[in-house]
Structures are given as C-alpha cells and as structure tokens.
Amino acid sequence: MGIAEQHAVTMAAGMAAAGLIPFCNIYSTFLQRAYDQVIHDVALQNIPVVFCLDRAGLVGQDGPTHHGVFDIAYLRCIPNLMLCSPMNEVELRNIMYTAQLGLQHPIAIRYPRGRGVLLDWKRPFEKMTIGTSIEIKKGTKIAILSTDPIGNEVTEFTGNIEQGKTVGHYHFPFIKPLDKKRIQQVLHNYEHIITIEDGSAIGGFGSGILEVANGLGIQKTIKVFGIPDEFIPHGTQEELYRLVHIDNQSIKSYIENLL
C-alpha cells in the first residue's frame, strides 16, 4: 500500500468483507493516521481485520516519532475491537494462528521493535482463548500485573528479588477483553497491586485494571507504571526505560518501600 495507511485499512476491511482474512501490518505510531478508518470502516462494521502493529512501545533509536506508546489508549476505547500484546515469540505466533482460524471481531496485535527472547520459539501452534491471562508466579502480598514483552523483565526481576515469595506475577496478553475473573481474584488475594506496561499510563492497560476494580467496588491502591504524559526522546530502549521509570530498579525500589 505504500505510505497510505488510511487506504490500507479500508482495503483490508473490503477484503475481510469479501471473506478473506487480511493481516494489515502497520507501525503502531502510523496507525494513528488511519484512526477514522479503523473506527468507521472496520470496528463500526465489526469486520474481522487482523491488525499487526509493529514497533509497539518505546522503540529506542528510532526516536520520538516512532515510539508506539499511544496504541493501547487509542484502541482500547473502540467498540468491537480486541487488543492483544503478547509477551514473547511463541505467544505472538499463537495469537496470529488463532486470528487466521477466523474471529468474529477485529483484533489488533501489538509487538515491539528489537530481538526476541526465546531460542526455542518454533513450537507447534496452539489456539489461544480470547480474554485469558496467565499466572506466572504466585505470591502472598504484592501482585504485579503486566502486559506486552516487558513482562519478561518482570519475570527476571521477581525471580531474583529478596522476599521473592511475597511477589506474584500475572501476565495479560489480552488488554481487551480483560480477564476480569483473574483481576477479581488478584484484588481479593493481594494487599498491593502494581501494573506495568510499555505504553501510555493514561488510558492504557493500568487504566483498564483500575476501571475493573472500580466496577467491582474494590477499594485498593493500584500503582500504575507506564509512559508518562510527555513525548519521549531518542535513546536506547534500556536508557528510556530508566528515564520513564519502568525499569527493574524503579519497580524494585517501589516494592522495597512497600515491604
């Protein structure tokens, strides 16, 4: 389609309406250019286009024009549209496999720029259940809820922290629909809740957790780690994580203060 994101989205909608299963591949930050088409031509018609959003999250050296940090916030509010942010290559392959089996709604799958995290990634495909989450580590006092590949950092961090048994970790590949049953269990079983995402803290994954908690009438402090309300400059991904305080040291300091 060239640099014509609006045309790509509308053409994908037409292909899906004709019975095909189009994978519409666009950088996260450039899908912003086709926002009207996503709403009007895809979601409003409830046409099952599969959006693959490359460069989701902080992209490092590509700079501020390419940081895909707004996609969760600007897509989560659209009716009919499902949103998935896998943690690794296996999960990414499995949600793409699930999408090509045929879905009843459009879905956006967001994934980062950079290298993978698994050596043994080429495994048999498995169908994913939409709207489910995963208990990676059970804890007793503090629960970390993560989405997207930043969960790999959390997994490494929770395995090394002192008093590690107190900290649980739950991964949410599906940001919409959220696993409300899991969230309710976590809210009841833990004293402190932390959410973390490689995306905007305003309107993002953490905001979704807060909305569910409010809907359940559960009054509990939920700390949201995400990209602050500012444009993030050029730098390596590691440097930028530290800059916006979604790096392991920032989370570790917060947890140590709680304990």
pLDDT in tens, 151-196: 998 988 887 777 778 999 999 999 999 999 999 999 999 999 999 9
- Which tens digits make up the pLDDT trace of 34-64? 999 999 999 999 999 999 999 999 998 888 9
Residue ranges per domain, the chain? 5-110, 134-258
DSSP per-residue codes, the chain: --S-HHHHHHHHHHHHHTT---EEEEEHHHHGGGHHHIIIIIITTT---EEEEESBB--GGG-TTT-B-SHHHHHHTSTT-EEE--SSHHHHHHHHHHHHT--SS-EEEE--SS--S-SS------PPPTT--EEEE--SSEEEEE-STHHHHHHHHHHHSTTGGGEEEEE-SEEES--HHHHHHHHHH-SEEEEEEEEESTTSHHHHHHHHHHHHT----EEEEEE-SS---S--HHHHHHHHT-SHHHHHHHHHHH-
Confidence of residue 256 (pLDDT cuts 50, 70, 90): confident
What is the predicted pLDDT for the residue at 138? 94
Query: What pTM was estimated for this model as a whole?
Result: 0.95
Matching CATH topology for 5-110 and 134-258? yes
In CATH, the number for domain 134-258 is 3.40.50.920
Confidence of residue 236 (pLDDT cuts 50, 70, 90): very high
Average pLDDT of the residues in 133-138: 96
What is the predicted pLDDT for the residue at 259? 84
What is the predicted pLDDT for the residue at 111? 96
- Which tens digits make up the pLDDT trace of 78-131? 999 999 999 999 999 999 999 999 999 999 999 999 888 999 999 999 999 999
By C-alpha distance, which of 257, 244, 216, 73 is closest to 147?
Answer: 73
For domain 5-110, give its CATH number from 3.40.50.1370, 3.30.465.10, 3.40.50.970, 3.40.50.1100: 3.40.50.970
